[in-house]
Amino acid sequence: MEFIPVNVPLLNGNEKKYLIECIDSGWVSSEGPFVRKFEDQFAERVGRKYGVAVSNGSVALDLAVLALDIGAGDEVIMPTFTIISCAAAIIRAGAKPILVDCDPATWNMQVEHIESLITPQTKAIMVVHIYGLPVDMKPVLALAEKYGLKIIEDAAEMIGQDYQGKPCGSFGDVSTFSFYPNKHITTGEGGMVVTNSEVLAEKCRGLRNLCFQTGHERFIHKKLGFNYRITNMQAALGVAQLESLERNIEKKRIIGRNYNALLGMIPGIELPLPATNYAENIYWVYGIILKEAVPFDAEEAMRRLDALKIGTRPFFGPMHLQPILKEMGFCCEGSFPVAERIYNRGFYLPSGIPLSNEQQEAVADAVKTILL
């Protein structure tokens, strides 16, 4: 049997056609027409007025934090169970991340614990939708209104997902996406900031592009910005991928349902929650968690599956366990037993869009082999 990777991107639409159009026209840089086309079409798909395409999802978070004027002395409440890009964006701005443990069923931040962490220094809540189900946004929005807080919504893993019928990415003052190859839309590398605020959109556009001015003073800089631009070729991929989004989301959900059926009777593992009262799982990745009765941890399970030619990936390392953050004096407060448990005992299986039924059956057989 050939090795089954965790993810392979699917590029079977108009990707090649649009890339050739870029090459033939000579528009390969960030000045090309596909950039604005991608921004406009993506923003419309997620229910936003403005989209600002950037070079990756991590810098999208940087721009979101900076656009909201978050800086020294400010605190931002965020989940401990997420990728380090979220905390890094807060720290680079000079602010302090305040951590929340995750829910054992959805793996998202425990929204019921947010209010107790709000202080006079709290400036924003960074919501991060994890793996397949969105954060329960209704109570978060209520807290933001009650305390006058901003919401940064990281929807990188939720392209195409809804919360109570509204697109994920439509809830934050600023929301961000990633188009890394394992996302539902990929541009190789790439990201997007979306908002309904023209002021915030313009701030993000300026910061993305070295804060150039217009006209004769183009190279006279009154603010320091960054080169976070996306290329026309990347945006062309994004436009093509967006055309296939609905079909790909349905395939992801089919993969999730197939795994639920194939793995549902295996003792010793917890499967992803298929749905909540506000969303159906989109299965960006298909994660499983080893129950305590299993005499080995996720690292050993992944090693055994690799020997059977099955690719896996570990769950996110929680922020409070990150050596660099502790060394810098951040994320050292609080207790986060749920995040620690699912990190130590959780991992995800192959679940890329091109995954076949036969490959899923092989993965399930391998999981049974190491557990039964």
Query: Which residues lie below 8 Å from residue 231, measured CB to CB, with a gap of 6+?
Result: 28, 29, 30, 32, 35
Q: Got the DSSP string for 48-61?
A: -SEEEEES-HHHHH
E strand or H helix that includes residue 232: helix 232-243
Per-residue tens of pLDDT for the chain, all 372 residues: 899 999 999 999 999 999 999 999 999 999 999 999 999 999 999 999 999 999 999 999 999 999 999 999 999 999 999 999 999 999 999 999 999 999 999 999 999 999 999 999 999 999 999 999 999 999 999 999 999 999 999 999 999 999 999 999 999 999 999 999 999 999 999 999 999 999 999 999 999 998 998 888 888 898 899 999 999 999 999 999 999 999 999 999 999 999 999 999 999 999 999 999 999 999 999 999 999 999 999 999 999 999 999 999 999 999 999 999 999 999 888 999 999 999 999 999 999 999 999 999 999 999 999 998
pLDDT at 166: 98
Neighbours of 325 (CB within 10 A): 19
- For position 40, what pLDDT does the model report? 98
What pLDDT, on a 0 to 100 scale, did the predictor assign at position 222? 87
Give the per-residue pLDDT at 148.
98
Closest alpha carbon to 148 in 68, 48, 46, 66: 68
* Residue 47, number of CB atoms within 10 A of its CB: 16
Q: Which residues of 245-273 are buried (b: 16+ CB within 10 A; e: fewer)?
A: eeebbebbbebbebbeebbeeeebbeebe
Token pair belonging to 218: 């183009």
pLDDT, tens digit, 9 for 90 and up, residues 175-233: 999 999 999 999 999 999 999 999 999 999 999 998 998 888 888 898 899 999 999 99
pLDDT of residue 251: 97
How high is the pLDDT of residue 96?
A: 98
| Full set of structural domains in the chain with CATH | 15-243 (3.40.640.10), 245-371 (3.90.1150.10)
What is the pTM for the complete model shown?
A: 0.96
DSSP-based helix, strand, coil % in the chain, nearest 5: 40, 15, 45
pLDDT of residue 372: 86
Q: What is the 3-state secondary structure (H, E, C) of 351-363?
A: CCCCCCHHHHHHH
What is residue 218's predicted lDDT score, i.e. its pLDDT?
87
